[in-house]
Amino acid sequence: MANTDLAETDLEFVTFSAGGQSFSIDIGQVREIRRWSPVTPLPHAPDEVLGVMNLRGSVIPIYDLAARFGLDRTPESPRNVVVIAMHGSQTVGLLVEAVSEILSVGRERIQETPDVRSDTARQTITGVITVDEGMTRVIDLAAVVQPRGKAAA
Angle at 23 between CA 18 and CA 26, to 5 degrees: 130
The answer to whether residue 52 forms part of the interface with other proteins (CB under 8 A) is: yes
User: Does residue number 45 form part of the binding site for other proteins (CB under 8 A)?
Assistant: yes
Q: Are 125 and 75 in contact (CB under 8 A)?
A: no
Which of the ranges 12-20, 58-66, 103-111, 113-121 carries the binding residues for other proteins, by CB under 8 A?
A: 58-66
Among 73, 76, 127, 81, smallest CA distance to 105 is for 127
Is residue 42 close enough to count as binding other proteins by CB under 8 A? yes
Is 36:82 a contact under the CB 8 Å cutoff? yes
Where does this chain touch other proteins (CB under 8 A) — which range of 56-64, 69-77, 98-106, 128-136? 56-64
Q: Which residues would be at the binding site for other proteins (CB under 8 A)?
A: 38-47, 49, 51-54, 56-61, 89-92, 147-149, 152
